[in-house]
Structure 1
Amino acid sequence: MTEKTPVGGSADQREDGQREDGQIGVGGTALGRGSRASRAQALRDTVDAVTAWSHESLGNGGPDFTGFPYERVVGYYQQTGKAAAAPELVALLRGARLGIECAGRARPWSSPDAWLFDTWLPLTFTDRPMSYVSYAGNDVLRIAEWNSDGGPEAAERADDLLTGVLLADLVVRESDALTATGGGDRQRSRTTAVWQALARLPEYAPLALADTAPLDAVRSALAEGGPDAAAPAAREAVDALRTQAPAALLRAVEVALLPVTTLHDERMFIRSIQLFERLFARVARALMFAVESVRADRPAEAAAFLETVGTRLAGATSPLYRVLTTMPPESFAVIRDHTHGASAIQSRPYQLVETVSAKRAGEVHSPEKGPLFALDATLQEQFLARVGGWPTAEARRLEEAMRSLDAGWRGMKRTHWGVTMKIIGRVPGTGGTAGADYLKAAADMPLFPQLAAV
């Protein structure tokens, strides 16, 4: 990649994320970037592996999606960053997908492995402007729902397990960086925040582990012995989370990390985005289940959905945003420069939360958000239409659950605004927004405007 003028950060940091002084961890380069020679060798090995797989897949035997060289491709992209990926490899990956499709062998729903290949491969050659969905690999992570029947319990279990595995990967990356840096202050602060988020996992993903003893051990170690004592307990908790996860889910989490730079901070940023997406998705799902319960005149059931997700939201907001506050502003400036067009306001679950909750006057399509959802039934309108026919106690319980979720959602957005102010200040935001000012205004918008006015 041609070196450019540094963007919005320290003078010794190139735009591709590599530090001239060799610093790794927070504010520096990711572990495993390697030398110029090792990256060149990784490219040759990856091209050879993809070429061999493509030739076999287009032969008489049909594609073996389990045998695709994910490890080679992901390893190369993590060494170079997607923005600096070799054009010949990108072209080869495009050709591999096209070849499978033209041969009539692309049946993405035939198995989890076929679906993963079909969903993931386009992420390796995403063009600018970049979309938030492709940057975060959100669709790839939907493989967690493969064996779910779509019901509330199965969906919660799938989301909790995915949340646990994503967090486990973040724990390993930050713990390894702490070891490699010899315990620098900024890296220690980041790693401690990640361990604390792991210790609090039962508050926002209680079904991630049937036996929470490993997580209890992390919490005890942090309280009694401090960060140094927490490292072994954190590793054991990671092992426990990964052991119970299906192989397809572990692979999806592994391949859904395709950073555009070589910055260590971008790895944390992507994993944090993916964790928040799980949180948004569960709030959206709870609202949709609640709408169906209200339409069936089961207000107590609707209230239970909202109470449960409200607890998850409250448990996740503080520890997950605490991790994000460790992002150095200069690192985020580099990431923003390479991800122009991608914005969290494009998040489908986030949009769905606000669309399912209530109709909003004057809401129109905005290009930076992408397609908006159109729903006939929202929770607020269904509640107001039916509340008069319910027992007083049940109606009051559901109203309080709606108000509580509204307060928690707005509190989460206020925290987002505060974190944004710390990291980027008042510069224009991604996706065409006004940045922190946009977030501050969004935090004042209630989920249920007609309830808020009462």
Structure 2
Amino acid sequence: MDDLKAWLSQPEVATFPFAGVLAEIRAVGKHAVPVELLSDLDNARQRLSVGRTEGTDLNSEQLAAFLDTVLDRRDGRFDAATYLALRLLPLPETRDGELGEAWRRHDRLMVALVADLLRFEQEAMDGSTGLLPRHRPGPALVDRRLRLGMRALAPAYTRLGLPVLGGTDPADADRVCASVAARMPAAQRLAVDLSMLPVDISHDEFMFIRVLQAYETVFALMAAQLHTAVSVLTMGNVRLAAIFTDGAASALRDASPLFSLMATMQPCSFAAFRTHTHGASAIQSAAAKTVEALCRTPDPQRLASCAFDQVPQVRQAILDGSLVGLEDVYQHHLAAGKVQPRHGRKLEEAMYGLGVVVDRWRTTHHRLATRFLGNEPGTAASQGAAYLDRVRTIPVFHRPAVASDTPGGGPRTRSARPPAVMPAGRARS
């Protein structure tokens, strides 16, 4: 590629030819990038200088992340995180006392990812893009995706104060995309663009990547919520812990239309690009495993399984005690008699509600995997749909004790039978 070779003769972070490099990669899919281009990109990575970032619009860390992501196969590092280019996305972060910012990061990224998907579907339909030309969907399927996409971004879109959606008519998708684009900072626009690195040229891989990135955004926010819930519960504030646990459930509940969107994927398109994704699997999601561990400490057998083999940093955090489960802390406080009955009930209702939402997510994930994979094995040491069928029965929370209304407030054991009526406000997900 001439632009890249010219850049190598005078490398400056601000002038890196992103557009040309992206075009070359997307023309064939990341699995088929020419060896010469990979060599030039590796050369660019070696010559990248941190000292050249001052005063530029793009820092060297972002360029380094892009090059590492593009070169994952060459380096033997291809996995779910590099397939989804997670280092390039401004995901919510887990920091005490900054949940407001975590929600804003989630909302901005969610609408950016889904709006970009809507834009791509429209441009492919009207013939204004040649990107990923194989297995183009028909008009009826595109209309359905536009409706589902607008449903998926609606909660975040509304919280950001963007113009009222007024429904999910496909004809409104242009207006929605324009509204999101007009308010998206240039740095985020570039990050979202750089993060689209499909391995193949099948149309539906664009949607597949964007939906998985959106779910990573959701799990990152859930981790922030639960991390804060554990922190305040450790300090004895059961009431606030219930509120933050509710927040985690709300984040996943809001995202439920994403799976409906994924269900529109064409089997022929999935089969085409899946052959090049071996080594990358949802089992490798560090954010999802962090959420699991923040609910309760995984049982020893689960912690020793392939699920946590794939996320060693999460497993180590559990083992060294820096990642503690909400239920573990709650049971400790119950045993010490430190839980007021009314606050204990609120937290248990929140835990129950979160468990319901996660269980439904797992069931839907398994159903989709069965539809698209059948009995085929998964990747990353999993067994595909069979693996998901097993793990979806793992309890999100064990049945906790309930703080009693009896004098003294001592704990009593709740029946293993779930309540006949779900707590108010938590019957839908």
**TM-score, normalisation: structure 2:** 0.82
Report the residue type matching 2:176 in the other structure: A
| Aligned-pair CA distance for 1:68 | 1.4
| Match runs of 1:32-431 below 5 Å | 47-57=1-11, 63=12, 65-101=13-49, 105=51, 113-127=59-73, 128=76, 130-142=78-90, 151-180=98-127, 186-203=138-155, 206-207=158-159, 209-213=160-164, 215-216=165-166, 218-219=167-168, 222=169, 230-231=170-171, 233-317=172-256, 319-362=257-300, 363-364=303-304, 366=306, 369-371=310-312, 372-373=314-315, 374-375=317-318, 376=321, 377-387=324-334, 388-431=337-380
| Aligned-pair CA distance for 1:368 | 5.7
Residue ranges of structure 2 left out of the alignment (5+ in a row): 129-135, 401-413, 417-429
CA deviations on 1:240-267 (whole Å, 9 max, x unpaired) are 1122121111100001011111111111
| Aligned-pair CA distance for 1:86 | 1.3
Paired with 2:72 and 2:52, the residues of 1 have a C-alpha distance of 20
Report the residue type matching 2:310 in the other structure: K
| Aligned-pair CA distance for 1:190 | 4.1
C-alpha root-mean-square deviation of aligned residues, in Å? Answer: 2.6
Match of 1:435 in 2: 384
Report the residue type matching 2:150 in the other structure: L
Residue ranges of structure 1 left out of the alignment (5+ in a row): 1-46, 58-62, 223-229
| Aligned-pair CA distance for 1:364 | 1.3
CA deviations on 1:103-143 (whole Å, 9 max, x unpaired) are x64779x9853221111111112215621100000111037
State the identity %: 28
* 1:142 partner SS: coil
Paired with 2:311 and 2:186, the residues of 1 have a C-alpha distance of 33
Paired with 1:444 and 1:305, the residues of 2 have a C-alpha distance of 24
Report the residue type matching 1:364 in the other structure: A
Contact 1:307–1:405 (8 Å) recurs in 2: yes
* 1:345 partner SS: helix
Report the residue type matching 1:325 in the other structure: A
| Aligned-pair CA distance for 1:91 | 0.4
Paired with 2:96 and 2:53, the residues of 1 have a C-alpha distance of 21
- 1:186–1:453 Cα change, 3 Å: farther
Paired with 1:141 and 1:435, the residues of 2 have a C-alpha distance of 27
Paired with 1:249 and 1:296, the residues of 2 have a C-alpha distance of 36
Match of 1:19 in 2: none
Contact 1:141–1:252 (8 Å) recurs in 2: yes
CA deviations on 1:389-410 (whole Å, 9 max, x unpaired) are 1321111111110110011011
1:445 aligns with 2:399: no
Paired with 1:447 and 1:112, the residues of 2 have a C-alpha distance of 41
